[in-house]
Amino acid sequence: MNVNQPVIEQEEKVEEKQYSYLNLGPTHPATHGIFQNVLKMDGEIIVEAEPTIGYIHRAFEKLAERRPFYQITPLTDRMNYCSSPINNMGWHMTVEKLIGLEIPKRVQYLRVIIMELARISDHIICNTIIGQDTGATTGFLYLFQMREKIYEIFEEICGARLTTNIGRIGGLERDIPQKAWDKIDKFLVEFPIAFKEFTSLLERNRIFMDRTIGCGPISAERALSYSFSGPNLRAAGVDYDVRVMTPYSSYEEFDFIIPVGSNGDTYDRFMVRQEEMWQSLSIIKQAIEKVKKEPAGIFSARTPEFCLPPKEEVYNDMEALIYHFKIVMGETEIPKGEVYHCVEGGNGELGFYLISDGGRTPYRLQFRRPCFIYYQAYPEMIKGSMLSDAVITMSSMNVIAGELDA
Amino acid sequence: MEGSTQDKVITALKDRYEDQILHIDTPYDFLTVSLKKEKIVEIIQFLYNHPDTKFQYLTTLCGIHYPELNQIAVMYQLHNLVANQRIRLKIYLPAENPVTPTITPIFAGANWLERETYDFFGVIFEGHPNLKRILNVEDMIIFPLRKEFPLEDQRREDKNDTMFGR
């Protein structure tokens, strides 16, 4: 049939309004992960949205009940895989809190450096993708090289890039090598240049501003009711940051500001993340200065019962071999108790609620996954907006499928 | 300062709901209150409104299964963002029939968390707007995070773990 053939106009009027239904996802290139939204559309306006999640659910909470504590770290990698070092260290700190391990200052600063690098890489992904979804591919490519540089640093530190499994309970597995320090120094010089370029492309770009201001807004009140956290909550104007509220890993010693927005729209979320990257950069610089003042060579608490000994000692020293065996076989004495520890992940308050019954595995472990909690506000945020706004609202919320489904 | 807020919370709670409190503890400096299940929503609403407590942020909510007690606990974790005080509330439901009212009218964010708890533990939240499975497939008949469900099929023969156990 020829589609261009003119159709005879029908006279009869349609009494009821006709809605069309559209499946956005599960595998749509604009959704950045596997989740589905069934949209009820009036023309191009979204009337209702029904999200379906769980496409990559991997039952981490059940798996964690059958794994020794140190084997849970790789599971946390796969939650927010854009900033897995934060997840890893959040988990290590939870276990350290449970067993009451004192962490040397130098290790805490090293962790801060790694975590802030991870935060920058997380925010790079989110912000460049907002640019990409609004049609600005250039900025995306500019900053993605810098993300590559961060992954190279991670590679020097732990050998892996995306799912890092970085660090161990009690500290890091090895000291940060000189090569990694060199790369960090280089990054601190190169990143501001690239980032400024990116900033000048988008931040005060009239087209970008028109596109994003007022798009997918949420009020502070609703955001709090939905238990938002992280940049999305701060964009709505609430200055809640776990790093300041309940400092961990010596964050109280650092000087940084928490950027807040006012409207909670896509532009504010973008700007909050932009400013956070600058702040992270400043925190890294401060941490490097602090590391230099600490005695060199300390990279772990080295409490033999809980911290894995370095490999060379395992092969040459009887005692280290015994402890290595005990830890790997899960024969460590973990106290009974329940503990909650939260860190400021890339997307907000990443919490670990751990109940230990003194056994070799957790009795119950719940991950407070910020994505999972704030994504439920998505239907409310896109109601009444255009389809294309829904796409950039989602990318500006930084919904990571791994964290959503756990 | 934090201690005084915590004391205020305990006092406020004890003044009004002395008979509902089973146990108060602070493991790892975290105020934990075990409550009777009957008035949980009322108590959460009270903690939300009371000027000394103002727990207006729901951090998380989850279930815990205790097979030897035949109970399923529901843990609510609230946060007062102004005074930076956290509280953990726990109620214990019978495992055969875990039913408790929903807190979605107070916290919109409880919606999916309650669905998740239903999905994994079978806790029925009465009055929930859309209580169906969220992460698992809809035709699943078990509640997988209950302890009686093994992680994998125990009849598997392709794995030999006689030495180190499973």
- Higher local confidence (pLDDT), A11 or A347: A347
Of B30, B112, B120, the CB nearest to A376: B112
What is the rounded distance in angstroms from the CA atom of residue B116 to the CA atom of residue B123?
A: 9
Shortest Cα distance, chain A CAs vs residue B35, angstroms: 17
A210, two tokens: 């028109």
Asked whether residue B144 is domain-assigned, the answer is no
pLDDT tens-place values along chain B, 166 residues long: 455 788 888 988 888 888 889 989 988 889 999 999 888 999 999 999 988 888 999 999 999 999 999 999 999 999 999 989 999 999 999 999 999 999 999 999 999 999 999 999 999 999 999 899 999 888 888 898 998 888 776 666 776 666 655 4
pLDDT at position A281 over 60: yes
Nearest to A281 by CA among A77, A112, A106: A112
Residue with tokens 């931040």: A203
CA distance A126 to A117: 14
Q: Which residue out of B30, B48, B123, B134 would a mutagenesis test of the A interface target, given it has the greatest number of A Cβ atoms within 10 Å?
A: B134
Which residues share a beta bridge with A338? A355
- The reported pLDDT for the residue numbered A193 is 93
Inter-residue contact A369 to A350 (CB < 8 Å)? yes
Domain boundaries, position B105:
2-126
- Percentage of residues in chain A having pLDDT higher than 90: 53
A227/B contact by beta carbon, under 8 A: yes
Write the CA distances from B51 to A157, A169, B79, integer angstroms. Answer: 49, 40, 14
For residue B75, the chain A residues in CB contact (below 8 A) are 353
Residue A213: both structure tokens together: 């201001």
**pLDDT given at position A2:** 52
**CA B2 to CA A60: how far, in whole Å?**
34
Q: How far apart are CA A241 and CA A320, in angstroms?
A: 40
Integer Cα distance of B151 and A250 in angstroms? 38
Residue B33 lies in a domain: yes
CATH code of the domain containing B115: 3.30.460.80
**Would strands A336-344 and A45-52 be described as parallel, antiparallel, or unpaired?**
unpaired
Residues of chain A contacting residue B145, judged by C-beta atoms under 8 Å apart: 61-62
Confidence class for position A1, pLDDT limits 50, 70, 90: very low
Nearest to A340 by CA among B71, B60, B153: B60
- Plot region of A33 (φ>0 → left; ψ -120 to 50 → alpha; else → beta): left
DSSP A216-263: S---HHHHHHTT--THHHHHTT----HHHHS--TTGGGS-------SS
Q: Which of A258, A284, A34, A250 is nearest to A149 (CA)?
A: A284
**Structure pTM?**
0.91
Contact check, Cβ <8 Å, A376/B109: yes
Q: Say if B16 falls within a structural domain.
A: yes
Residue of chain B whose Cα is closest to the Cα of A340: B30
Identify the pLDDT of residue A6.
55
CB A171 within 8 A of CB A308: no
Q: Considering the domain boundaries, does residue B142 fall inside one?
A: no
Total residue length of chain A: 406
Pairing, β B85-94 against β B124-126: unpaired
Shortest Cα–Cα distance, B38 to chain A (Å): 24
Question: In the predicted model, what is the mean pLDDT of residues A330-347?
Answer: 89
A61 sits in the region (left: phi over 0; alpha: psi -120 to 50; else beta) called alpha
DSSP 8-state secondary structure symbol assigned to residue B24: E
Instruction: Domain ranges for chain A, please list them.
Output: 20-52, 60-405
> Structural domain tally of chain B?
1
Residue B52 domain flag: yes
Q: A63, B116: Cβ pair inside 8 Å?
A: no
The alpha carbon torsion through A98, A61, A109, A182 (nearest 10 deg) reads: 150
**Is residue B155 situated within a structural domain?**
no
| ipTM entry | 0.90
Residue B160 lies in a domain: no
Asked whether residue B111 is domain-assigned, the answer is yes
Give the strand pairing for B85-94 and B31-35: parallel
B74, B113 contact by CB (below 8 A)? no
For A60-405, give the CATH class. mainly alpha
- Give how far B54 is from chain A: nearest CA, Å: 13
CA-to-CA dists, residue A396 to A215, A324, B109, angstroms: 10, 44, 19
What whole-number distance in Å separates Cα of residue B166 and Cα of residue B158?
Answer: 13
**Is A366 an 8 Å CB contact of chain B?**
yes
What integer pLDDT is reported at residue A8 of this predicted model? 58
**A225–B contact, CB cutoff 8 A:** yes
CA distance A344 to chain B (A): 13
**What value does the mean pLDDT of chain A take?**
89
Please write the tens of the pLDDT for every residue from A34-44. 888 889 998 88
